[in-house]
Amino acid sequence: GQSLEQPSEVTAVEGAIVQINCTYQTSGFYGLSWYQQHDGGAPTFLSYNALDGLEETGRFSSFLSRSDSYGYLLLQELQMKDSASYFCAVPNQAGTALIFGKGTTLSVSS
């Protein structure tokens, strides 16, 4: 089967840096995605890593190590608006739908 593990909660202050880890177990691997979901809102795509290494998009970066079945989302210069849930996800074995982790709730305080 496929499963993903990520911390349930992370807290940080404005301006800080936070890292949200994700470990996965999959039958076949296509890549690791990250989604952001504000309370009551729709999940929105943040990043996708198919190859090892770091991908940077503005204040957010995502890292993947396929040999360790591990990835992380790095959020820099935290702002209050970054308070949300963050989900890692991998395509299912068929490479069609996504399997999501249970999400990490990030709370940013001033």
Partner 1 sequence: GAGVSQSPSNKVTEKGKDVELRCDPISGHTALYWYRQSLGQGLEFLIYFQGNSAPDKSGLPSDRFSAERTGGSVSTLTIQRTQQEDSAVYLCASSFPPGTGTSYEQYFGPGTRLTVT
Supply the minimum distance, in Å, between the C-beta of residue 59 and partner 1: 19
For residue 80, the one-letter residue type is M
Phi–psi pair at 46, nearest 5 degrees: -110, -50
Show the binding pattern over residues 16-55: x = contacts partner 1 (CB under 8 A), - = does not: --------------xx-x-------xxxxx--x-x-----
In angstroms, the Cα distances linking 69 to 46, 50, 51, 52, 106 are 19, 12, 12, 10, 23
Residue 102 as a binder of partner 1 (CB under 8 A): the answer is yes
Q: Which residues bind partner 1 (CB under 8 A)?
A: 30-31, 33, 41-45, 48, 50, 87, 89, 91-92, 94-103
